Amino acid sequence: MERIKLTIDGNPVEVEAGTTILEAAQKIGVHIPTLCYHPELRLEGACRICVVEVEGMRNLVASCVYPVANNMVVKTNSEAVRRARRTIVELLIANHPQDCLVCSRHGECELQDLSRQLGIRKVRFSGEKRDLALDESSYSVVRDPNKCILCGRCVRVCAETQSVSAIGMANRGSDSIVTTPFNLGLAEGPCVGCGQCINVCPVAALREKDDTERVWEALQDSKTHVVVQVAPAVRAALGEEFGLRAGSLVTGKLVTALRKLGFDQVFDTQFAADLTIMEEGHEFISRLQKRENLPLITSCSPGWVSYCERFYPDMLPHVSTCKSPQQMFGALAKTYYAQKAGINPAHIFSVSIMPCTAKKTEAARAEMQASGYRDVDAVITTRELANMIREAGIDFANLSEGEFDLPMGMSTGAGTIFGITGGVMEAALRTVAEMLDGQELPEVEFQQVRGFAGVREATVRIAGQDVRVAIANGLAQANRLLERIKAGEAEYHFIEIMGCPGGCIGGGGQPLSKDPDIRMKRATALYRQDMLKKVRKSHENPAVQELYRSFLGEPNGEKAHQLLHTHYHARSRY
């Protein structure tokens, strides 16, 4: 690779040819503000907030797209640059509803940050504020086009990372907006509710549907028995909201916080994850033995399930009939738990804390009422839980360590790693291998399925046969994998697909983060938790064993089918 030498703000820099000025500046710690730029997305060069002066060039250039050249002399902070930047930000502010005090992004907003960073104290322009309707059609994501600053990051993540393209730019000039086709709303299109667009939006134009009010109401009603389940990925990320280091594992504090908020029983989705492995493991073994409907594809990611229903309806017979852990838990909370605790299920309000916005839509699906009631009454994201903890005045960082309630709070290390791409596969292999081999695994960890590559594959030797597995994370990667299978270029027995990059730890309901290694840090926390667990295989979870003994009967048996399995529907994209 050719090396290029240039000067940025008087400092010599040497980088590879093809590097942008922005990247070169980052390398030496010079911070250039950006807006439409996102490190994981295609370059657009549209907002021009990142302009710099290049000696010998008449116009300022957008540093996020402009490549370096030998002997280039760059100034990132000249008078002309500062003036241009300020103008852009002032124009954005002039057209923006400035209701920061009551805005969901207050304190976490890139427009606020820019304004503060550039020291903007007054706006020279008077802009036209738009008064467009909110899109509240989706159970997962709310769009507020009035707050949109047209950076296009959501459009790109939805198309490039997720291959969904539910939203796009429409109109031109000052009428430009980001919207759904014909303004029909997210629910009328192919949107899968993954929330990746929320995670990249610099402002409050995209946010999760806020369900905290319904949870507060239930908590405050003394006649309602409120149970809560927490997904694995939440404990590896919630700490970030309270100033703890990224990758901090806050399981114990999380339990204590939930008790303080007033939840009657604090349970763990990981219990249901172990249960999922029992059901899905048996389903896999049965399909493998009958050579029927292979590959089996996992079904715990509702973003993926929605995507499959809309984009790959012909693959639906391959998708496991197992409900996701959230919904298995919900069905049991109002049956098994209600019976055991002697509580009328009509008085139970079941809440789940999820790293995921698609879970809100999943819980609202008409078929998710196996208990005779809505199985999961409210789903709130990691971010929404953080808001509730803040509102309740709880000093999270200094909480003592609590323990989950029994029996549905007991879980294994296999349940823990469900939150990471490859984790469901690994958890399933731990159980399937032991069941088929009939002897204890010499090594619990399946390193060959770990990692963050978009698509990964491995061959695992089980009971004298080669089991070929594949893993995809992010829907564009799932798309890539499925296209290869359809073209006959690859064949597998078992596939894990998670809708979000990195799996649930990178879900659309997780704390916003600019840390490029954030997914890795959260994953490391969960792998550490797995190692710390005494029991690391789902089939050895004593509470799950007891559940089968006293309530469900056999895995994949009649009762299990009625409560824990579901079916899917091909859906129109529009």
Partner 1 sequence: MEDRKCTGCNCQQGQDPRFEELAKVIEEYRDMEGALIMVLHKAQDIFGYLPEDVQKFVAQGLNLPLSEVYGVTTFYSYFSLKPRGKYRIAVCLGTACYVRGAAEIVSAIEKHLNIKVNDTSSDGRFTLEVSRCIGACGLAPVMTVNEDVYGRLTPDKIPEILNRYE
> Is residue 142 within 8 Å of residue 188, measured between CB atoms?
no
The residue annotated as part of the active site, out of 280, 426, 434, 496, is 280
DSSP string, 279-319: HHHHHHHHHHHHT-SPSEE----HHHHHHHHHH-GGGGGGB
Asked if omega into 542 is within 30° of 0 (cis), the reply is no
Pairwise CA distance, residues 335 & 341, whole Å? 10
CB closer to ligand SF4, 59 vs 572: 572
From 145, 152, 185, 190, residue interacting with partner 1 (rule: CB under 8 A): 190
Pairwise CA distance, residues 470 & 294, whole Å? 12
DSSP 8-state code for residue 414? H
Report, in Å, the least distance between residue 193 CB and partner 1. Answer: 16
CA angle (207 as vertex; 123, 170 as ends), nearest 5: 70
Determine, following the binding rule CB under 8 A, whether residue 290 of this chain makes contact with partner 1: no
Determine, following the binding rule CB under 8 A, whether residue 171 of this chain makes contact with partner 1: yes
From 35, 61, 157, 167, residue interacting with partner 1 (rule: CB under 8 A): 167
Report, in Å, the least distance between residue 170 CB and partner 1. Answer: 4
From 48, 85, 147, 253, residue interacting with ligand SF4 (rule: CB under 6 A): 147
Q: Within its chain, how far is the Cα of 514 from the centroid?
A: 15
According to CB under 8 A, which residues from 132 to 161 bind partner 1? 155, 159
Determine, following the binding rule CB under 8 A, whether residue 573 of this chain makes contact with partner 1: yes
Task: Select the binding partner of residue 380 from ligand SF4, ligand FES, partner 1, none (C-beta < 5 to 8 A, by kind).
Answer: none
From 24, 201, 218, 376, residue interacting with ligand SF4 (rule: CB under 6 A): 201
Strand locations in 409-481, DSSP E? 455-462, 465-473
The residue annotated as part of the active site, out of 14, 55, 292, 367, is 367
Number of residue whose CB is nearest ligand FES: 64
Q: Which H/E stretch holds residue 8?
A: strand 3-8
Provide the 3-class DSSP secondary structure of residue 290. helix
Burial class (CB in 10 A: 0-12, 13-18, 19+), 179: buried
Pairwise CA distance, residues 153 & 202, whole Å? 8
Task: Select the binding partner of residue 171 from ligand SF4, partner 1, ligand FES, none (C-beta < 5 to 8 A, by kind).
Answer: partner 1
Pairwise CA distance, residues 177 & 184, whole Å? 14
Instruction: Return the C-alpha torsion angle 245, 246, 247, 248, nearest 10.
Output: 30
> Is residue 485 within 8 Å of residue 492, measured between CB atoms?
yes
**Integer-rounded Cα radius of gyration of the chain:** 25
User: Phi and psi for 21 in degrees, rounded to 5?
Assistant: -60, -40
Active site annotation includes 309? no
Pairwise CA distance, residues 519 & 202, whole Å? 19
Segment lying near ligand SF4 (by CB under 6 A), choices 9-17, 58-66, 185-193, 520-528:
185-193
From 197, 272, 455, 526, residue interacting with ligand SF4 (rule: CB under 6 A): 197
Task: Select the binding partner of residue 150 from ligand SF4, ligand FES, partner 1, none (C-beta < 5 to 8 A, by kind).
Answer: ligand SF4
Pairwise CA distance, residues 104 & 442, whole Å? 50
Task: Select the binding partner of residue 196 from ligand FES, partner 1, ligand SF4, none (C-beta < 5 to 8 A, by kind).
Answer: ligand SF4
> What is the token pair recorded at 60?
């300022």
Task: List residues near ligand FES by CB under 6 A.
Answer: 34-37, 45-50, 62, 64
Task: Select the binding partner of residue 574 from ligand SF4, partner 1, ligand FES, none (C-beta < 5 to 8 A, by kind).
Answer: partner 1
CB closer to ligand FES, 342 vs 516: 516
Active site annotation includes 47? no
Task: Select the binding partner of residue 212 from partner 1, ligand FES, ligand SF4, none (C-beta < 5 to 8 A, by kind).
Answer: none
CB closer to ligand SF4, 143 vs 334: 143
Report, in Å, the least distance between residue 309 CB and ligand SF4. Answer: 13
Q: Provide the greatest CA pair distance for the chain.
A: 80
Pairwise CA distance, residues 51 & 71, whole Å? 19
Active site annotation includes 292? no
What residue type is 479 in one-letter code? N
Active site annotation includes 443? no
Pairwise CA distance, residues 20 & 57, whole Å? 16
Pairwise CA distance, residues 296 & 283, whole Å? 9
CB closer to partner 1, 67 vs 181: 181
> Is residue 515 within 8 Å of residue 246, measured between CB atoms?
yes
The residue annotated as part of the active site, out of 36, 64, 194, 300, is 300
From 32, 72, 157, 485, residue interacting with ligand SF4 (rule: CB under 6 A): 157
User: Phi and psi for 147 in degrees, rounded to 5?
Assistant: -95, -5
Report, in Å, the least distance between residue 158 CB and partner 1. Answer: 8
CB closer to ligand SF4, 208 vs 279: 208
Task: Select the binding partner of residue 157 from partner 1, ligand FES, ligand SF4, none (C-beta < 5 to 8 A, by kind).
Answer: ligand SF4
> What is the token pair recorded at 548?
């089968």
Active site annotation includes 79? no
The residue annotated as part of the active site, out of 209, 359, 521, 537, is 359
Segment lying near ligand SF4 (by CB under 6 A), choices 72-80, 101-109, 389-397, 400-408:
101-109
What residue type is 158 in one-letter code? C
Segment lying near partner 1 (by CB under 8 A), choices 17-25, 169-177, 207-215, 451-459:
169-177
Active site annotation includes 445? no
Q: Which residues bind partner 1 (CB under 8 A)?
A: 155, 159, 164-172, 180-182, 189-190, 572-574
Q: Which residues are catalytic?
A: 280, 283, 300, 320, 359, 362, 367, 504
Please report, as ranges, the residues that interact with ligand SF4 according to CB under 6 A. Answer: 96-100, 103, 105-106, 109, 111-112, 141, 147-154, 157-158, 162, 164, 166-167, 178, 186, 191-197, 200-206
